[in-house]
Structure 1
Amino acid sequence: MINSVEFTERLQKVIDFYSESASSFAEKIGVQRSSISHILSGRNKPSLDFVMKILHSYPEVELYWLMNGKGSFPRRPNISESPNSNTLKTNPKPQPPNLNAISDSNSEIDKIVIFYKNGTFKSYKP
C-alpha cells in the first residue's frame, strides 16, 4: 500500500528538482492544477493514470522510487566500463528486480503488475 504522506514528499521533490511550480508541473504532465493541489495537500491519493503521466513526462523518475521510496531519483544510468577501451558505456536496458529479494520468507506475493510505456498495464495473480 502506498504511503500518501511519503508519496507527497517525493512528488514535491520532483517538482522542486525541475524548478517547476505546481501549475507548470500540472500543465507539463497534462492534469488540472487542482489535481496537484489535492494530492500535495493529502486530500486525494494519486491515480495510476496520474503516476503514469509523471513517468511519461519525466523519464528520470523511477516508478519504485516514486511509489515506495526504493531506488533513486533522478534515475542513474547503468554504467559499465568496456574491457577493451577506456570509454564508459551506458546499459540501455534496465534489469528487472529480483523478486526473491523483494519478498521475505514470511510473506507471499499477492499480485504482480507490469506497466508498459504506452500507459497500459497487466496484472497477474500467482
Structure 2
Amino acid sequence: MVNIDDFVKRLEIILDYYGLNASSFADKIGVQRSSMSHLLSGRNKPSLDFVMKILDVFPEVDLYWILIGKGNFPKSENETLEFEPKSDLKTEDSPASFNQNYSGVDLFSQLNYEEEKPVIKNSIETKKQNITFEEDEIEKIVIFYKNGTFKAYKP
C-alpha cells in the first residue's frame, strides 16, 4: 500500500529536481491543477493514471521509487530492483504449486453447444403443448426484436 505522506514527499523531490511548481508540473503531465493541489495537500490519493503520466513524461522517475520509496531517483540505467517474496507465499516446492494445479486443458477453445440444442428444443415444445390460452386471459402481446427494441400490443 502506498503511504500518501511519503508519496507526496517524493513528488516534491521531483518538483524540486526539475525546478517546477505544482501548476507547471500538472500542465506538463496533463492533469488538472486542482488534482495536483488536492494530492499535495493529502486530500486525494494518487491514481494509477496519475502515476503513469509522471512516468511517461519523466522517464528518470522509477516506478518503485515513486510508489514505495525503493530504488533511486533519478534512476540509473543498470539499476535493478531485487524482489524477495514474503515467506508466507507459496513457492515451487510447495504442494500447491502452479504446475501441479495446471490441467493442460485449453481454456480458450470454443465450446460446442450443438449437442444441447435438441434437448432445450424438446423441453420448449413440451411446455408449449401444456399451455392453453383463452381470449379473455391475454392482457398484452410483446414482440422483441434483435436490435433490442420491442413493441407491445394490447388486444
TM bucket, shorter chain: 0.5 to 0.7
Q: Which runs of 5+ in 2 are unaligned?
A: 91-155
Q: Which has the larger radius of gyration?
A: 2
The equivalences for 1:35-114 within 5 A come to: 35-78=35-78, 97-99=81-83, 101=84, 103-105=85-87, 107-108=88-89
Indicate the SS of the match to 2:26.
helix
Partner amino acid for 2:86? D
C-alpha distance after superposition, 1:19-54 (max 9, x if no partner): 001111000000001111100000000000000000
- The percent of aligned pairs where both chains have the same amino acid is 57
Q: C-alpha distance in 1, partners of 2:82/2:2? A: 20
Deviations along 1:86-107, one digit per CA (max 9) or x if unpaired, are xxxxxxxx75x554x2x232x3
Q: Which runs of 4+ in 1 moved over 6 A?
A: none
CA shift at 1:7, angstroms? 0.3
Aligned to 1:88: none
Structure number with higher strand proportion: 1
CA RMSD of aligned residues (A): 1.6
Residue 76 (structure 1) shift: 1.1
Instruction: Give TM-score, length-normalised by structure 1.
Output: 0.67
Instruction: With the length of structure 2 as denominator, give the TM-score of the two structures.
Output: 0.55
CA deviations over 1:53-98 (Å, ceiling 9, x no partner): 00000000000000000000001122xxxxxxxxxxxxxxx75x55
Give 5+ residue unaligned stretches, structure 1: 79-93, 110-126
- The higher relative CO (CA closer than 8 Å, separation ≥ 6) is in 1
Structure with the bigger percentage of helix: 2
